[in-house]
Chain A
Amino acid sequence: MGWIGETVESIKSLQVRQVLTQAVSLGMIVTSALIIWKALMCFTGSESPVVVVLSGSMEPGFKRGDILFLHMSKDPIRAGEIVVFNVDGREIPIVHRVIKVHERQETGEVDVLTKGDNNFGDDRLLYAHGQLWLQRHHIMGRAVGFLPYVGWVTIIMTEKPIIKYLLIGALGLLVVTSRTKEKNIRDVDALNLKLNPC
């Protein structure tokens, strides 16, 4: 009860100037995160430079919750590469390995067939109805790097949104209250100086 009372007290004692400073610092955090994301997009050339593996179709190489770093260069796509692709009519992109490539003589256009390492058959069943091959424009990037487990954070947050809101709320409260505590201490110091001028 005491803690809650203290918090409410500190929120009540906020001043306009302080609120503004905190809004600015919160804004800084958000914008710097955005800057990092956009810079990554710029360097990798992929519209989503980091993806989380959601299914076990590439086990034991990639498990659910692993993170992949994507790169989209002009290099041609070759068999064996792990690509992330979008299929028309599917919201979630798929991470699978290329097993067949046919590259046209003059235009350089490619037809690509993919398969998950852990799946029995190729991906034609996953493609849009009647689609036999993936083209260049379906492919969002190829996987170049790998980080295990980190993606669990986002999986938990998307599947249990309550945890996300709790976390955001707690962080927000922390930012708002931590500054005022510092200020309170400073006020006490000033008071002490007034009482014992030396």
Chain B
Amino acid sequence: MHSFGYRLNALLTFSVTILAIICAFASYSDNLNLPSPQAEIQVSLTMNISANLESMFTWNTKQVFAFVAAEYETPLNALNQVSLWDGIIPSKEQAKFWIHTTNKYYFTDQGSNLRGKEFNLTLHWHVMPKTGKMFADKIVMSGYHLPEEYR
């Protein structure tokens, strides 16, 4: 009963159990963090995005994936979400940012309903943990509209 194999097995089982418990604990500890992010976007199809996502970061955060999506309704579709810009924030130090950028992806619709369209710009973020559960949330900013004529 006390051979080398048994002891190795017991040690391995024990350490795997402990690892699993630590992982679960680390994931659970993210619930204790109450984030309070801020963001502001100005558009002329170049965008000025300023955001403060520092409160997203805990000890169990690997990175935060942030993106800006235009959301609008058309006669065909109840909801359209078109991603315009995204970025990966790898650390807390880079989580308070100001960026001036053009759209990274084309702002196209299924059909041609974009002229004079009202739309919301939403800053979404996905918190990717070192281990455990992933989180996502967003800030909606409304009151943008596209011009009647553009090329």
Q: Which residues of A are in contact with B by a Cβ distance under 8 Å?
A: 60-61, 78-82, 97, 99-105, 108, 111, 117, 122, 143-148, 174
Contact = CB atoms under 8 A, between A and B. Distances in A.
Contacts of A61: 62-63, 65, 88, 128
Contacts of A143: 134
Contacts of B27: 145
Interface residues of B, number: 32
A148 B130 contact: yes
19 contacts: A60-B62, A61-B63, A61-B88, A79-B67, A79-B82, A80-B67, A80-B69, A80-B83, A82-B126, A99-B86, A100-B81, A100-B82, A103-B78, A103-B79, A105-B76, A117-B86, A145-B133, A146-B134, A148-B131
A149 to B, nearest CB: 10
Nearest to B1: A182
A101 B65 contact: no
Contacts of A100: 81-83, 105
B33 interface: no
Contact of B105 (A78, A117, A122, A144): A122
A102 B83 contact: no
Contacts of B81: 78-79, 100-102
A79 B62 contact: no
Contact of B126 (A80, A102, A111, A122): A80
Given A80-B67, A145-B133, A147-B23, A60 B78 contact: no
Interface string B118-151: 0000001010111111101000000000000000
B14 to A, nearest CB: 17
